[in-house]
């Protein structure tokens, strides 16, 4: 949150820890909620609130994939990185429930246009992760439109 906030982006953080929300509130909106056992806290007129960017790191709760994807606004981006199978060989998390299957992020966010995906091993600290960057294309304007350029 801090990194994005310092670059002028409005940010919202969700956590079940009051301490984490207290810290997050220094950089933007902090929402205290247990999103694994309670309702999704970011609703607008009964639908998920949408954001220009949704960033998820080191977190996996599969029932939220759909609402996370719905939270990406047209023209917005999803950045997701978390642990994948193989991580049990180098540390925690090691429970299969907390590790992605090969290609799982690609399948979970198939409604978005994937612009980057990685699945593999990282050092420092050693970990196995999947990373996904995807966008929700903006609706086309009237008339011909050049393809959107996503720098790689």
Write down the pLDDT at residue 138. Answer: 83
Q: Mean pLDDT in each 10-residue stretch from start to end of the chain (152 residues)?
A: 92 94 93 93 92 95 95 96 97 95 94 95 95 90 66 64
Domain positions in the chain: 1-33, 41-135
Write down the pLDDT at residue 51. Answer: 96
For β-strands 113-122 and 72-83, DSSP reports them as: unpaired
Q: Going by CATH, does the domain composed of 41-135 fall within 3.40.50.150?
A: yes
CB 130 within 8 Å of CB 105: yes
CA dist., res. 77 & res. 42, Å (int): 17
């Amino acid at each position: 949150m801090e990194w994005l906030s310092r670059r002028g982006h409005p940010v919202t953080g969700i956590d079940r820890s009051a301490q984490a929300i207290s810290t997050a509130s220094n950089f933007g909106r902090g929402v205290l909620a247990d999103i694994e056992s309670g309702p999704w806290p970011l609703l607008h007129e009964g639908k998920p609130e949408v954001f220009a960017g949704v960033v998820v790191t080191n977190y996996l709760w599969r029932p939220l994939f759909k609402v996370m994807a719905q939270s990406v606004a047209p023209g917005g981006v999803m950045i997701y990185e978390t642990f994948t199978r193989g991580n049990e060989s180098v540390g925690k998390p090691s429970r299969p429930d907390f590790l992605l299957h090969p290609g799982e992020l690609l399948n979970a966010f198939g409604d978005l246009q994937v612009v980057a995906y990685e699945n593999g091993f990282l050092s420092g600290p050693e970990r196995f992760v999947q990373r996904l960057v995807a966008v929700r294309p903006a609706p086309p304007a009237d008339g011909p439109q050049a393809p959107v350029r996503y720098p790689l």
